[in-house]
Amino acid sequence: MPTTVIPPRQEEKLKPATDKAQPVIIIEHLYKRFGQNVVLKDFNLTVYKEENVVVLGKSGAGKSVLIKCVIGLLKPDKGKIMVLGEDVTILNDDDLDKVRSKVGFLFQANALYDSMTVRENLEFPLRRHWIDIKPQEVTEMVKEALNNVALLHTADMMPSELSGGMLKRIALARTLILKPEIILYDEPTTGLDPVTAREIDQLILQLQKKYHTSSIIISHDMNCVKNIADRVILLLEGQCYVDGTYDELAHSADQKIKQFFE
């Protein structure tokens, strides 16, 4: 460990004197390996209500693996992941689905179903999670979700007809349609031009304020980190190397931290 590193925050230090201090994700002693490659090694993290935590790290450091473990797409080898009070590492499929209905996931490559229209893409999670939902409600919610991202006119278009920025917005609308309490973003601005990337940043912030969500955001885009992050952690060698605000990390003298901000 470096000598100048800002130590990972203590829970007490993080807790503001409001009820927002309620933890929504608690990750304890998480281990994940693929063959001989140990990706996460005794990783710990707590995310509080309405907080945006950005995870920085080199490619292959295990950032995407981390959020895939949180949503239950990957099973960790060891450790505990409490999401909204439920340990997702031990839940059965049905209970995991209940937790997932409160957690949104924005995929790096958007992962829109290319055989469905934009409208069908948005309807799909609604009809799956809320089986008894009425058709009128589905229509209203799809309209609201598309309005949120200013793309109502694309409802009957296929994903292949949309630009990269539009696809990202639609993917964000699909993520938000279930009104999740937590959103996990996997590199939300990767592959976008700087202008569109800033628009996505602003959209994420607007929607977070509107729906009071908490987020873990994986990003390499330092402008995105600066705009969005309440807290930044650096994932290095499978562990949380540093945990602090953007300004704290940006002014660190530690070489391993500095290289991300140069």
169 binds another protein (CB under 8 A): no
Distance of CA 21 to the CA centre of its chain: 19
Task: Evaluate whether 69 touches 81 at the Cβ level (below 8 Å).
Answer: yes
The nearer residue to another protein, 218 or 232, going by C-beta atoms, is 218
The footprint of another protein on residues 40-99 (CB under 8 A) is 68, 71, 73, 93, 97
Q: Smallest distance, Å, CB 71 to another protein?
A: 6
Tell me the number of residues near another protein by CB under 8 A. 20
Q: How far apart are CA 215 and CA 195, in angstroms?
A: 22
Q: How far is the CB of 213 from another protein (least distance, A)?
A: 15
Q: Identify the residue among 58, 129, 143, 179 touching another protein (CB under 8 A).
A: 129
Cα 158 to chain center, whole Å? 25
Asked if 190 touches another protein (CB under 8 A), the answer is: no
Q: How far apart are CA 159 and CA 119, in angstroms?
A: 10
Q: Looking at this protein, which amino acid is placed at residue 120? A: E
164 binds another protein (CB under 8 A): no
Q: In angstroms, what CA-CA distances link 204 with 19, 86, 167, 214?
A: 22, 26, 14, 11
- Binding residues among 104-123 for another protein as defined by CB under 8 A: 105, 107-109, 111-114
Which positions ≥6 away from 158 have C-beta within 8 Å? 114, 116, 117, 118
State in angstroms the smallest separation of the CB of 23 from another protein: 21
Binding positions for another protein, rule: CB under 8 A: 68, 71, 73, 93, 97, 100-101, 103, 105, 107-109, 111-114, 124-125, 128-129
